[in-house]
Amino acid sequence: MAYDAVIIGAGPSGLAAATRLAHFGKKVCLLEAHSKLGGLNSWHQVAGREISTGLHAFTNYSADGRGGALGKLLRQLRIKFRDLELYPQNRSSIRFPHCSLQFDNNPETLRLQVAERFPSQIDGFDRLRRRILETDEGEITSRRTSAREALSANITDPFLMDMLFCPVMFYGNPGGVGDGLDSERDAPDMDWLLFCVVWKCIFESGMSSPLSGMRTLWEALAGRFLADGGELLLSSRVRRLVVEGGRIVGVRLADGREIVGEAVFSSAGRCETMELSELGADGRAAPAPGEISIVEGVAVLDKPSVSIGMRDTAVFFSFSDRFAFRRPDTLVERRSGVVLAMDNYLVPEPSRRQILKMSQLANYPLWKKLDRASYREAKTASALGMAADLAALGVRLRDGRERPGKFGLFDDFFTPLTIERFTSHAEGALYGSPAKSRSGETRFPNLFLIGTDQGFHGIVGAMLSGVAMVNRHLLAK
């Protein structure tokens, strides 16, 4: 049987694309290499608890789920806002050695903090925000413009610029260079449209957490997809795109089966998808994977985070006044990071969510070189480093735990190799390739990219990308 669409990957973008197409009566086959749904945002067991892998924040929050990117997504996928059971953050902060800025889901809070701590910058900050709000980040363009240039035109204090870049880069800069946007080592840059996407996600709307984790949403979407006649094949890795006469006619799975489809939508990533074509990597300067990857420690606490010194939901920190977001020359970059306390979302029964997560930038090639024993040792050593860095931020992890963890004071610790293994993203690239394909088009007329490498990421962004690409390339026709 020939499907109207074959979708590679049952992460946020693939699930959203599949649900939308099946709802409109299209015959769809959704293929996922792993045994679970959710892609980079799946779930796993840590110290006897099910946790949402990686999840820091469900962004784009609004109190009623109307308007903005979230409202659009809910309408397109017919999801009821109340079914998501989202609870907002209390407050978060950006902490640098000589200054801290707080923010929450009301953009006015950050504005007032900037006005108080950087009075000479507030007019420029207001201009910058206006420019961000006027920017249509969904614009289909291959042009990449510099976020640093746009910020420099409005913010003249380099310290404030670095503080504003810190959360945005941590939650969305793929790193690396490409398509003419040069990022200097000491002044890292990112694409302006991507900057606007992430700024709006965290500063203009806000951060929240789904009460029962991401699994509920993924299973609900998959259930709807199946009820609408869709076919979902888990543990089914696509090994090859089958090309005939310059078109994709189907995909070949690792077990040799072939699935025939009129169109293919891939969330595997830009260079990863081109690698699947029978022609191999795109000979015309295939974009390199993004350089940004992370290590993350997860600690299940026996006490509330607030009792060990972690009062905010998220802390974005830099121990140096100048913030350099780039692949480090060491296994882990200890000068900056993000800490997140899941029990500091305004949830009922926070005691059931006493989980602390900490991420720091990491160097994939260096982790890759380690043999088995050194890899394990490096994880434990990096986890010890993290606990020390937490202490420097005033968070006493040791006081929050009554038992040792598998990795020092942490129960789980993942590296760029873990991300690569579970997501197939080359080099564990957290935010995919720096060269996005905003139209979703590839050199094959019926192969389209969805998700991170189309240019919208994060959970909400990736889902919107899946919906937008199937609307544009299949349903509109």
Ligand X SMILES: Cc1cc2nc3c(=O)[nH]c(=O)nc-3n(C[C@H](O)[C@H](O)[C@H](O)COP(=O)(O)OP(=O)(O)OC[C@H]3O[C@@H](n4cnc5c(N)ncnc54)[C@H](O)[C@@H]3O)c2cc1C
Task: Using CB under 6 A, list all residues that contact ligand X.
Answer: 8-14, 31-34, 39-41, 54-57, 59, 237-238, 267-268, 296, 419, 423-424, 430, 451-452, 457-459, 462
Residue whose CB is less far from ligand X, 36 or 311: 36
Q: Report, in Å, the least distance between residue 238 CB and ligand X.
A: 4
Residue at token pair 């965290």: 202
Query: How far apart, in whole angstroms, are the C-alpha atoms of residue 310 and residue 316?
Result: 12
* β-strand pairing of 86-88 with 208-210: antiparallel
Q: Report, in Å, the least distance between residue 32 CB and ligand X.
A: 5
Inter-CA distances, 405 with 300, 357, 402, 411, Å:
9, 13, 10, 5
Q: Which SS3 state, helix, strand or coil, does residue 126 take?
A: helix
| End-to-end C-alpha distance for the chain, whole angstroms | 21
Residue whose CB is less far from ligand X, 74 or 160: 74
Q: Report, in Å, the least distance between residue 224 CB and ligand X.
A: 17
Contact 298, 379 (CB under 8 A): no
Query: How far apart, in whole angstroms, are the C-alpha atoms of residue 467 and residue 464?
Result: 5
Residue whose CB is less far from ligand X, 41 or 121: 41
Inter-CA distances, 6 with 177, 382, 432, 460, Å:
31, 41, 21, 22
Query: How far apart, in whole angstroms, are the C-alpha atoms of residue 87 and residue 75?
Result: 20
* Angle between helix 12-23 and 68-77 (nearest 10): 50
Residue whose CB is less far from ligand X, 62 or 452: 452
Q: Report, in Å, the least distance between residue 319 CB and ligand X.
A: 22
Cα torsion angle, 71, 74, 77, 80, sign: negative
Q: Report, in Å, the least distance between residue 60 CB and ligand X.
A: 8
**The two three-digit tokens of residue 331, written as one number:** 């296994």
Q: Report, in Å, the least distance between residue 138 CB and ligand X.
A: 16
Residue whose CB is less far from ligand X, 124 or 178: 178
Helix then strand then coil, in percent of the chain rounded to 5, is 40, 25, 40
Q: Report, in Å, the least distance between residue 173 CB and ligand X.
A: 12
Strand partners, 361: 294
Residue whose CB is less far from ligand X, 7 or 164: 7
Quote the DSSP letter at residue 255.
Answer: T
User: Phi and psi dihedrals of 318, rounded to 5?
Assistant: -140, 130
CB-based burial label for 253 (10 Å; 0-12, 13-18, 19+): middle
Residue whose CB is less far from ligand X, 155 or 214: 214
Residue whose CB is less far from ligand X, 34 or 326: 34
Q: Report, in Å, the least distance between residue 221 CB and ligand X.
A: 12
Q: Report, in Å, the least distance between residue 457 CB and ligand X.
A: 4
Residue whose CB is less far from ligand X, 41 or 93: 41
Residue whose CB is less far from ligand X, 88 or 124: 88
Q: Report, in Å, the least distance between residue 243 CB and ligand X.
A: 16
**The two three-digit tokens of residue 26, written as one number:** 């299209």
Query: How far apart, in whole angstroms, are the C-alpha atoms of residue 386 and residue 380?
Result: 10
